[in-house]
Amino acid sequence: MENINLNVGKRLKSIRLNKELSLDEVSNLTNVSKPALAQIERGASSPTINTLWKISKGLKVPLSYFLQEQENDFQIVDFKSHKPILEYGELMKTYAIFPYCPTRNMEIFYIEFAAGCDYRSQQHLDGVEEYLFVIQGKLQLVLNGREIVVKEKQSIRFRDDIPHQYNNPFNEMCAAYNIIFYLNA
């Protein structure tokens, strides 16, 4: 695996140049100092997760973009071999299948919601859509206060800038593929 500091730096510089921004402009957008940004771009410094969040929010790109590995012509993912992100103990397991890529403006996850899971998601940036494909069980969503049940082999699309939560009040596990699409990235 490539040096993570160098990888983060290359991706930061790529975004900055694609958006035609100077280091000063990125510093103003992110509240990260110009010298710190320059060190990160050169791979000379390892940013904290807090610094990466500032950069991510300021440049309007997902945090996961900075942490993914170099891309090949194709990729087969066995997500069960990756460590999941756990929420509420182990009631919600999220596997990053394909982290954010700025040329595609999307990221894909596989999520398992155990019976009893109740997850309130943070609102995302404006211009973000979420697509959810339930492949096992059923899931109750609360979108801007409205309850909706999505059953096995059903899908839903919704704006991600509204309050939303994922609930599994049912007696069986729910599994779903989740695609987050960044329209304005």
Whether residue 143 has pLDDT greater than 90: yes
How many residues in the chain?
A: 185
Report the percent of the chain where pLDDT is more than 90. Answer: 49
How many other C-beta atoms are found inside a 10 Å radius of the C-beta of residue 113?
29
Q: Return the closest-CA partner of residue 163 out of 143, 134, 141, 139.
A: 143
Q: Kindly report the backbone phi and psi dihedral angles of residue 81, in degrees, each rounded to the nearest multiple of 5, phi listed first.
A: -85, -10
Question: Mean pLDDT of all residues in the chain?
Answer: 87
- Based on C-alpha coordinates, what's the Rg of the chain? 18
Report the percent of the chain where pLDDT is more than 70. Answer: 92
Task: Give the span between the Cα atoms of 182 and 185, in whole angstroms.
Answer: 5
47-67: average pLDDT: 82
Structural domains in the chain plus CATH codes: 4-67 (1.10.260.40), 79-182 (2.60.120.10)
Task: Give the span between the Cα atoms of 62 and 173, in whole angstroms.
Answer: 28
pLDDT of residue 133: 98
Whether residue 88 has pLDDT greater than 60: yes
Name beta bridge partners: 156: 132
* Per-residue pLDDT tens digits for 94-132: 988 888 776 678 889 999 999 999 998 877 778 889 999
pTM of the model: 0.63
Task: Give the span between the Cα atoms of 26 and 47, in whole angstroms.
Answer: 15
Name beta bridge partners: 136: 175
pLDDT of residue 82: 77
Task: Give the span between the Cα atoms of 106 and 65, in whole angstroms.
Answer: 10
